């Protein structure tokens, strides 16, 4: 039930954003665009590490970088347990895929034409640095599975 309500809010927020004009998503601050915040859902069986800021002016939902997004004193971080979401009404712009791990993630993004969904596998197996993955204000990232040493 929570995701269908969130999805409807996403569609409404995207529609309003289209009518009101473009909004920068480069470095999201503590406020959410038209009341809709970037959102990460942990649907896996292990915890997921999230951070408040994406510190670069480039990238879209699903973009990844090995650079740590600690760009200001408001760069809060936290773990979300299995079955938990990023805090409601707060803007958490990124999640981390640790070195040696593989994550399967479903993204849902509100576009002017409706909801767009796609899957991404982030494979850091054999790598020594983590990925930080961007989640824009009109999007939901659902971490569906994660595994160390191989992809789920």
Confidence at residue 35, expressed as pLDDT on a 0 to 100 scale: 59
What is the structure's pLDDT at 8?
A: 41
Look at the alpha carbons of 31, 142, 114, 2 in this order and tell me if their dihedral is positive or negative: negative
3-state secondary structure of 50: strand
Residue 31: CB atoms within 10 A of its CB come to 11
Give the pLDDT confidence score for residue 115 in this predicted structure.
86
Which domain range does residue 10 map to? Answer: 2-148
pLDDT along the chain (152 residues), means of 10: 44 39 41 73 97 81 84 80 93 94 94 87 96 90 97 88
Residue 39 near residue 135 (C-beta atoms within 8 A): yes
Q: How many domains does the chain have?
A: 1
Q: What pLDDT score was predicted for residue 129?
A: 95
pLDDT of the residue at 69: 75
Q: What is the pLDDT of residue 70?
A: 72
Distance from C-alpha of 3 to C-alpha of 113, rounded to nearest angstrom: 19
Residue 65, φ and ψ in degrees, nearest 5: -145, 155
The pTM assigned to this predicted structure is 0.75
């Amino acid at each position: 039930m929570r995701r269908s309500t969130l999805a409807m809010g996403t569609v409404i927020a995207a529609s309003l954003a289209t009518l009101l004009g473009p909004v920068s998503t480069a470095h999201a601050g503590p406020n959410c665009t038209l009341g809709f915040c970037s959102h990460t859902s942990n649907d896996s069986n292990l915890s997921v590490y999230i951070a408040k800021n994406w510190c670069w002016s480039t990238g879209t939902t699903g973009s990844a970088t090995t650079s740590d997004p600690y760009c200001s004193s408001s760069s809060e971080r936290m773990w979300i347990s299995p079955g938990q979401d990023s805090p409601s009404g707060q803007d958490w712009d990124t999640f981390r895929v640790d070195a040696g791990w593989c994550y399967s993630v479903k993204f849902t993004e509100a576009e002017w034409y409706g909801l767009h969904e796609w899957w991404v596998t982030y494979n850091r197996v054999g790598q020594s640095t983590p990925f930080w993955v961007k989640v824009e204000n009109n999007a939901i990232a659902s971490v569906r599975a994660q595994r160390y040493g191989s992809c789920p």
